[in-house]
């Protein structure tokens, strides 16, 4: 009711008074009743209806007792007015949706690695088209990002290996190889592909327990007998990369988040061929319990298209 009333208010401003007054008289059957509903003087309503009849050269009403009844010409004109108002309502809904899109809000939950390079790139390119959409970012663990989407705290989530849940929809995914990160002067940097066993002969830095990456590394370590020299464990991959840059230490992650270190040559990435480390699944998740709003839907579509291009570059580098 509120939305329809709002549209009627806009119609009152945009359409000629004669057409609106005519339609109201046709609806209620008298000049006086129409004037009360329109909150306009009876003389003004009568004057507009007479002007309309004169302009068209047709009689629009016939008096039947104390009521006004539409003539044949009046019936034709009223049908036109109703079609016009109906089209206007549809147009207004589209315009309101467009306004909502341009001024909407998108809440994004993301893992740290995506937040470092990928997500800033996505947001910057998205705002070139939708500069007035407000974007809110929550950085969390893989499970935490998925949970934010499940509970409705976030519209879109970027996560690795999300849990299977009926309320969660994996709307896009891409498998990424987990690799070893090290300085270019590290002894292992000469090899193109490594095993985890080779890496564990050197000091290592591990992601904390509870992170999806750590779970995969622990699964791969079960068949390895070495007792590794663990320099540090941390829940921040950014911190772990800083640690790796500082000395002869091996770190582990996908290429996502390490783009700048790899591009600058401060670190090198060497894929690990152990089975559990072959495919860490980067996913964009949404709720399966509710539809995305206009602004979140546009951001999601932009994210999928942009990530496809970005991740093809990773695949090319991994294969080469």
Q: If DSSP states are collapsed to H, E and C, what string results for 202-248?
A: CCEEEECCCCHHHHHHHHHHCCCCCCCCEEEEECCHHHHHHHHHHCC
User: With contact defined as beta carbons under 8 Å apart, do 141 and 111 qualify?
Assistant: yes
Helix (H) or strand (E) holding 310: helix 294-319
- Residue 291 pLDDT: 83
Q: pLDDT tens digits, the chain, 320 residues: what are they?
A: 344 445 454 444 445 788 888 989 999 999 999 999 888 899 989 999 999 888 889 999 998 888 899 999 999 888 888 777 766 665 665 565 556 556 678 999 999 999 998 999 999 999 988 888 889 999 998 899 999 998 889 999 999 988 888 888 998 888 888 999 999 999 999 999 999 999 999 999 999 988 888 888 988 888 677 788 999 999 999 999 999 999 999 999 999 999 999 999 999 999 998 887 877 889 999 998 888 888 888 899 999 988 888 776 555 454 44
- Residue 14 pLDDT: 44
pLDDT in tens, 44-60: 899 999 998 888 899 99
pLDDT in tens, 282-301: 999 999 888 888 888 889 99
- Residue 1 pLDDT: 38
Nearest to 215 by CA among 223, 224, 206: 206
pLDDT in tens, 93-102: 556 555 655 6
- Residue 264 pLDDT: 95
Ordered by where they begin, the domains of the chain are 2-102 (1.10.10.10), 105-175+281-319 (3.40.190.10), 178-278 (3.40.190.10)
34 burial level (CB within 10 Å; 0-12, 13-18, 19+): buried
CB atoms within 10 A of CB 146: 27
- Residue 11 pLDDT: 46
Alpha helices in 1-132 (DSSP H): 2-14, 17-28, 31-38, 42-56, 72-102, 112-116, 118-129
DSSP 276: G
């Amino acid at each position: 009711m509120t939305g329809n009333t709002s549209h009627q208010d806009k119609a009152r401003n945009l359409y000629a008074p004669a057409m609106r007054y005519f339609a109201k008289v046709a609806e209620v059957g008298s000049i006086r009743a129409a004037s009360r509903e329109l909150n306009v003087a009876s003389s003004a309503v009568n004057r507009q209806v007479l002007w309309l009849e004169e302009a068209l050269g047709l009689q629009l009403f016939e008096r039947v007792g104390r009521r006004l009844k539409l003539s044949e010409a009046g019936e034709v004109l009223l049908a036109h007015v109703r079609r016009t108002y109906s089209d206007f309502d549809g147009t207004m809904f589209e315009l309101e949706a467009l306004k909502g899109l341009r001024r909407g809000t998108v809440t994004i939950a993301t893992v740290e690695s995506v937040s470092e390079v990928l997500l800033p790139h996505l947001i910057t390119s998205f705002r070139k088209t939708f500069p007035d959409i407000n974007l809110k970012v929550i950085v969390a663990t893989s499970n935490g990002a998925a949970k934010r989407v499940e509970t409705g705290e976030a519209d879109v989530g970027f996560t690795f290996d999300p849990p299977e849940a009926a309320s969660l929809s994996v709307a896009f995914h891409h498998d990424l190889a987990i690799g070893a990160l090290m300085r270019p002067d590290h002894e292992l940097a000469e090899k193109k592909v490594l095993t985890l066993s080779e890496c564990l002969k050197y000091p290592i830095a591990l992601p904390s327990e509870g992170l999806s990456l750590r779970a995969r590394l622990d699964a791969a370590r079960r068949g390895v007998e070495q007792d590794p020299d663990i320099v540090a464990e941390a829940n921040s991959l950014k911190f772990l990369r800083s640690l790796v840059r500082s000395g002869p230490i091996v770190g582990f992650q996908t290429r996502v988040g390490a783009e700048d270190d790899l591009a600058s040559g401060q670190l090198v990435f060497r894929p690990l061929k152990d089975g559990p480390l072959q495919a860490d699944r980067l996913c964009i998740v949404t709720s399966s319990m509710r539809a995305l709003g206009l602004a979140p839907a546009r951001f999601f579509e932009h994210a999928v298209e942009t990530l496809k291009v970005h991740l093809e570059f990773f695949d090319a580098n991994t294969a080469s």
